[in-house]
Amino acid sequence: MPSFDVVCQVDKHEITNAVDQANREVGTRFDFKGTESQFRQDGQKITLESESEFQIKQMTEILHAKLLKRGIDIGHLEWGKIETANQRAVQVATIREGIDKDLARKIVKLIKDNKMKVQSAIQGDQVRITGKKRDDLQDAIMLLKKAKLDLPLDFTNFRD
């Protein structure tokens, strides 16, 4: 029986490369000279540090550009507030991975409400969708792509 998995995953190596490229760009840009601005990645968190809130906003644009060039959807980032103290501004971005239970339930409900000829089951941090026909599965993929969910979804493990 054909099936596929709905997941939310990020290539951590590509994120590391994007952060390194963003650090290099900040280090060479004239408007950041002498500010000791930097990006730091620690597991699932990326910390932006600079002298002012304005520079932090510029750094977020640089990071967005580097991530998009590497094919990473910026919807994976959850931005915290910019905190300013002692002539330093800091902002933390958390990398979101995996489908939480609420979103998984929303996906299952969306498929059931559209009366599609597929079955969906929550399996940990992913949703497995099975059906008798390949066309039904492709319709389910199109439905999920059109749905305005707050997390970018990937469709993997397609089996016929």
Q: What is the pLDDT of residue 66?
A: 95
Task: State the residue for tokens 């439905």.
Answer: 143
Count CA atoms within 13 Å of residue 66 on its CB side.
Answer: 20
Percent of all residues in the chain with a pLDDT value above 70, rounded to a whole number: 100
- Per residue in 11-31, pLDDT tens? 999 999 999 999 999 999 998
State the pLDDT confidence band at 114, using cuts at 50, 70 and 90.
confident
Please tell me which of 90-94, 95-99, 148-152 the model is most confident about, judged by mean pLDDT: 90-94
Instruction: Provide the whole-model pTM.
Output: 0.84
Q: Outline where the chain has alpha helix (H).
A: 12-28, 53-69, 101-113, 134-146
Fold exhibited by the domain 12-95: Alpha-Beta Plaits (3.30.70)
Same-fold call for 3-8+98-159 versus 12-95: yes
Fold exhibited by the domain 3-8+98-159: Alpha-Beta Plaits (3.30.70)
Tell me the domain boundaries of the chain. 3-8+98-159, 12-95
